[in-house]
A and B are shown apart, each in its own frame.
Chain A
Amino acid sequence: MQFDPFVIPFNIGLYFIVLYAVGRSVIWFRELSRADKLRLQRGFFGPAFAMSLKEIFMESLIHRKILKTNWRLGYMHMSLAFGWFLLIFFGTVEADVFGTKHLNAPYKAIFFRFFNPEHGRSGFEAAYGFLMDLILAFILSGLLLAVLKRFWSPAVGVKKTTKLGVSDKIALTSLWLIFPSRLIAESFTCGAYETGSFLTGSLGSFLASFLPTQEMAYPFWWLYSLSLGTFFILLPVTRYMHIPAEIFLIFMRNAGIRTGDRESSYSEVEVHSCSSCGICIDTCQLNYSAGINTIQSAYLMKGIRRNEDVKDIAENCLMCGRCDQACPVGIELYPIRMMERRRKSADHEYRNLYKGYLRSRFPLTPEKDNETPSYSYLAEESPEKADVLYFAGCMTHLTPSIKNSMVEILNASGLDYKFIDEKGGACCGRPLMLAGQDREARELINFNSQMIWKSGASMLVTSCPICYKVFRESYHLDVEVLHHSQFIKRLIDKEAISLKFLQKNVVYHSPCDLGRGSGVYEEPKEILKYVSRLEKSRYEDAESLCCGGSLGNLKLSSEQRRKIATDAANELTASCPDILATACPLCKKTFSSATSVKVSDISEIVAEALTKTSVPKYNALKALSKPEMANV
């Protein structure tokens, strides 16, 4: 027996998905920019290829990163992905070795038991049967977890699981049916022929004791084939598209392609690589503090995939970057969200199931150039010349103690500095950028850039991480931009200021835009270690929390913000420190009203620790600048 009609659904599904994956990959490749194409080609024939293969094995099959974050969820993903891979691999080998001939059609391997019911009675064949049963048991154990998770998510250690659409539900049901139907179909066949190993064999003989196995087996083989076929056909319009897309993504990323700030086929592949595992939902503070569970990145990715209007999802986010950091697939969620914020809502076409199979990317509407400037009232300024510029920023003006402390520190250092926004300057432009209004932001950037450029300074110090990030990333200045924590660290290293040790226990909260956003983790902590006893919190470095005050979110109400701030402050002050230290005026402002512990900015702590003993006037700016700092 070499063929039976029940294999047709499986064959249709399989050939469809293979052709579809190849076709889509070709389209994705063709749409890459020229530079990215070259990168991918070079990566494909270089050492990046080996790296990619290793990563595909570790992440797409073993799911190492999910295992690290949550072993139960990781086991679930691993058993389904790696188990299925093993089943296909060993199944193919089995069909090749024990089958009637070599190089069989795929269905021969998948339905091996049906075509070779007498197989596996003794010796090596039985041992191989045992292995196949073991793999099937491995998958079924993961499937059990998956079903449990769907109905009672704490079972796998996740607070909330992702909500599904209709096509997702059909695909999920067919995925769930695949392995149990295989088990039952094989068991019936084994029961009829008295073969099979510990799982199929024993279940088969049990079923044979009271059921007509020969007749019962056939419908289940049909079910097995049908569920496989349905799953393959629905794969491109559901989250399971991540299975082929992630492989493509890993190759592209290892070749050095990055998201950038424009929509490209790379961002499209990223969006399709999201498996909705739900790790971003669990890390999101909006979820567990403010009770908002519709806007997490998994839903954003789903909305983009389905071509829905995701404006509300994209805007209701703190932009803290915690999900970006936690994503096991390594999707750059932050820039993708920014793209959606910049998009005008009219760009979207509404969902249509059949469109899901086609490419569904729409070009951004070009910015209108003829619009009148919004900030023409900003008069040109001619600032005094100075070596070091201090830009406090809007938020620092709301927390004057930070500003005053910085002035004190700058005075103590004896540097030739100029406080450029002492009487209130223009905004840095980042809040506008976060709201997706790039054209307006560019006007402010030009205004500030001119002022900085005219002052002839070589160093720009800012107290606000929000300003720091935009100065570094969007200003293209030829001066060195420092956050005040980096600046103070240099002053300490060069002994330009002298500090006494404060008998205080301090916990440090890393601000989002300074830590995850700009990668400045060490300097603030080193300063704090220098002047106080720094305690560790549960949320260090990349895992740090968001204070909830973020300017990234336009939609959050003040009550929800307070809830996030209180929860975060409680977590951080669990060890009852004397001071909750931070390096951001906005974090300070938000936390001050959320906790009874004293909240201080690093500059305030340093200003308090300043000794009044006369420090030799330190005028050599050169010693502070970068080349000499290289060895610090």
Chain B
Amino acid sequence: MSRFGFTITKARFIDYESNDRRISEYISEMEPSFLRCIECGCCSATCTAAGFTKFSLRELNILIKRGENKEINKTIRKCMLCGKCTLVCPRGVNTRNVITLAKEAYQKAENHAV
């Protein structure tokens, strides 16, 4: 099959009722600027880690907010915390703290502390 670059996305169903939003809530409580994110993608465009591997903070933000937490724990550790995303963010989201808090929240979720 030839690749045209246009794929039909697989039908998906996001259930906000059953998804685990604890991590998203933990982050927004500790760092309210997380809620300001408009998912513009400036952070992903400037990302140092993204130069080496598939890593997008924009995607992570969306997934965390939806409560689709699988695999994020591993992905989020690809971040080098260099801070470029914080500087380019047009909404003033403290992205470095969002990532640190996300790591913390996963740690706590594993220990059933959140």
Q: Do A and B bind each other?
A: yes
Determine the residue in chain A with the shortest Cβ distance to B97. Answer: A554
Contact A375 B80 (CB under 8 A): yes
User: How long is the Cα–Cα vector from A375 to B49 in the complex, in angstroms?
Assistant: 9
Q: Which of B47-65 contact A (CB under 8 A)?
A: 48, 51-53
B38 at the interface (CB under 8 A from A): no
Alpha-carbon gap, A178 to B46, bound state (A): 63
CA distance A551 to B82 in the complex (A): 8
Q: Establish whether residues A427 and B82, one from each chain, have CB atoms under 8 Å apart when the complex forms.
A: yes
Contact (Cβ within 8 A) A423 B51: yes
A427-B81, A432-B81 known; A549 and B100 CB under 8 Å? no
Instruction: Give Cα A549 to B100, complex, Å.
Output: 18
- Residue A581 interfacial (CB < 8 Å): no
Contact A589 B87 (CB under 8 A): yes
Min CB gap B75→A, angstroms:
10
Interface of A is mostly: loop
What band does the interface of chain B fall in when counting residues whose beta carbon is under 8 Å from A?
A: 20 to 34
Contacts of B48 in A (CB 8 A): 394, 424-427
Q: Among the listed A375, A377, A398, A440, which residue makes an inter-chain contact with B87, where contact means beta carbons less than 8 Å apart?
A: A398
Determine whether the beta carbon of A444 is less than 8 Å from that of B96: no
A586: B residues at CB distance < 8 A: 87
A83 CA / B33 CA spacing, docked (Å):
53
Task: Note all chain B residues with C-beta closer than 8 A to A549.
Answer: 87
Closest to A373 in B: B77
Q: Which residue of B lies closest to A379 (CB)?
A: B52
Inter-chain CB contacts under 8 Å: number: 72
Choose among A374, A375, A394 the residue that contacts B82 (Cβ–Cβ < 8 A): A394
User: B41 in the interface, Cβ–Cβ < 8 Å?
Assistant: no
Chain B nearest Cβ from A424, distance in angstroms: 4
Q: Does A473 sit within 8 A of B, measured CB to CB? A: no
Most chain B beta carbons < 10 A, residue from A444, A554, A555, A556: A554
A559 on the B face (CB < 8 A): yes
**A555-B93 Cα distance, complex, nearest whole Å:** 11
**Please, how many residues of chain A have a CB less than 8 angstroms from a CB on the other chain?**
31
Which residues in A have their C-beta under 8 angstroms from that of B88?
398
Which of B51, B83, B94 lies in contact with A431, CB distance below 8 A?
A: B83
Complexed CA–CA distance, A390 and B24 (Å): 40
- Nearest-CB residue, chain B, relative to A444: B80
Structural contact, B84 and A397, CB atoms closer than 8 A: yes
Contact B100 A554 (CB under 8 A): yes
CB contacts under 8 Å to B, within A416-453, are 423-427, 429, 431-432, 435, 437, 440, 444
Q: From the candidates A374, A425, A432, A554, name the one contacting B78 in the complex (CB within 8 A).
A: A374
Contacting pair B52 A559 (CB below 8 A) = no
Interfacial chain B residues near A378, Cβ < 8 Å = 52
Chain A residues within an 8 Å CB radius of B53: 377
* Residue interface bits B70-114, CB-to-A below 8 A is 1, else 0: 000000011011111011110011101100100000000000000
Instruction: Say whether A488 faces chain B, with CB atoms less than 8 Å apart.
Output: no
Complex contacts, B93 vs chain A, CB 8 Å? 558
Determine if A437 and B87 form an interchain contact, defined as CB atoms under 8 angstroms apart.
no
Judge whether A557 is part of the interface by a CB distance below 8 angstroms. yes
List chain B residues, Cβ under 8 A from A554: 94, 96-97, 100
| A371 (CB) vs chain B CBs: closest residue | B77
Given A398-B87, A426-B52, answer yes or no on A558-B80 (Cβ-Cβ < 8 Å): no
Interface residues of A in 544-578 (CB under 8 A from B): 549, 551, 554-559
Across-interface contacts of A555 in B (CB, < 8 A): 94, 97
Q: Smallest Cβ distance from B95 to chain A, in angstroms?
A: 10
Q: Is A298 an interface residue (CB 8 A)?
A: no
Residues on the B chain within 8 Å of A556, using CB: 94
Q: Which of B87, B93, B100 has most A Cβ within 10 Å?
A: B87
Option from B78, B84, B86, B96 in Cβ contact (under 8 Å) with A375:
B78
With the chains together, A588 CA to B88 CA distance in Å? 14
Choose from A423, A558, A589 the contact partner of B33 (Cβ within 8 Å).
A558
**Given A374-B77, A424-B48, A554-B94: 9 more A-B contacts, CB < 8 Å:** A377-B78, A398-B84, A427-B82, A431-B80, A431-B82, A432-B81, A435-B81, A555-B94, A558-B86
Q: List 9 A-B contacts (CB under 8 A).
A: A374-B77, A377-B53, A394-B82, A395-B84, A437-B81, A554-B94, A554-B97, A557-B94, A589-B87
